[in-house]
Structure 1
Amino acid sequence: MSKSMYFPCPHCKAPSFTRSVLHESNLRSELRLQCSDAECGHTFEVQTEVLYTIRQSAIPDPGVCIRSVTPMERVNA
C-alpha cells in the first residue's frame, strides 16, 4: 500500500505533486513540488526529515541512529 505525503501549495492551497527527490541522507530528503492548479503554477522545494522513532524496526539498519521517544515525550513535543 503506497500513500503520498500531502503538501498543499503555500499560495493557493491546492494539492501539490512531487517532481523530483534528492535524498541527502537516510534521514533527510529534499523534494521539488509543483502546484496542481495550472493557473497558480507554483513550484517550490520542501525538506523532510526523520525526527524520532515511535516503534522500532524489525529489521534495523545498523548504520542508522534515530532517537526513540516515549508516548509522553511525543505529547510534549
Structure 2
Amino acid sequence: MSISLVLACFWAVVANVLAMTPSSDQHWRSAYVLIAVGIPVLGFVTMQHGPWVGMLVFAGGCSVLRWPVIYLMRWLRGAAVRNAAK
C-alpha cells in the first residue's frame, strides 16, 4: 500500500475518533482541521493513483464531513438563486 493511501486511511481513522469525542462547538473546529489536512492528502492520492481513486477518497471524505458539504451546497444554491434574480 502506498504512503498516500496510508495517509488517507489514517485521516479517516482520526476523523472517526474526533467524531466520537465530545465537543462544545458541534465538531466544527475539528472539521476545519480535517478539511485543511484532507485537501493535500486528497491531492497526493490523486497524483499517485489517478483521478478514479482520488474520486473514491473524495467521496469517503464527503461522507465523513457531510455537514460542511451540505452547508456548502445550500450556500451555492442560494448564491445561484440570488444571481438568477438580478
- TM-score under structure 1 length normalisation: 0.22
Q: Which has the higher helix share?
A: 2
Q: Which has the higher strand share?
A: 1
- TM-score under structure 2 length normalisation: 0.20
For CA contacts below 8 A with separation 6 or more, give which structure has more relative contact order.
2
Kindly name which structure, 1 or 2, has the bigger radius of gyration based on alpha carbons.
1
